[in-house]
Amino acid sequence: MQMTNEQVQILQQVALRTLEHEAKTTQRVIEAIPANNTSYKPDEASMCSIDLAKHIAGAELAFLRGCVSGQFDFSESVPESLKTPSEVAKWYGGEVEKSVADLKALPIEKLAQIVDFRGMMQMPAVLWVEFALRHSIHHRGQLSAHIRAAGGKVPSIYGPTYEDEVARKAASAS
């Protein structure tokens, strides 16, 4: 799929603005994993909460870095030294900031270049930013279900949470 420079520029602006917003939400969701229950998983076939958080962070950043470099490299992952939700969230937030800056600095022509994903899909680099977002949002939804079941409080994602509504009703009743 070939795109004009104007199309790429519009998509770049929208995707990066969305990425900056969604990354803050993803960071809050990762931070909300109960630190005393990071190994929670709803089923034997599921990843545990901390591994799911690391997958979200690592995969998103690999896709974003691939947009910048023009090729995907999934060998670089979340540092093994990061053990807690807070550490993963902080690292993720800093790395996303760097990736956004790199993506903003890319020439439009580079964002229009086709990037191959393991021979299965080929798209202009700018569209991989949207793909990375969808992937993270999908898994972030899974992780938010882990959080409540593991005894944590799900942060606001696109509006008030159950806990927020309960607190609001209790406050208005008194």
The domain at 5-173 falls in which architecture?
Up-down Bundle (1.20)
Computed from CA positions of residues 152, 158, 162, 168, in that sequence, does the dihedral angle turn out positive or negative?
A: positive
Rounded to whole angstroms, how far apart are CA atoms 166 and 156? Answer: 13
**What confidence tens digit (pLDDT) does each residue in 143-169 have?**
999 999 999 999 999 999 888 888 889
**Which residue type does 90 have?**
K
Average pLDDT, the chain: 94
Q: Is the pLDDT of residue 66 over 80?
A: yes
**What confidence tens digit (pLDDT) does each residue in 11-23 have?**
999 999 999 999 9
* Contact assessment for residue 150 and residue 37, using Cβ atoms and an 8 Å cutoff: yes
What's the mean pLDDT in 116-124?
Answer: 93
Question: In this prediction, what percent of the chain has a pLDDT beyond 90?
Answer: 86
For the chain, the structural domain boundaries read 5-173
**What confidence tens digit (pLDDT) does each residue in 83-116 have?**
999 999 999 999 999 999 999 999 999 999 999 9
CB atoms within 10 A of CB 119: 6
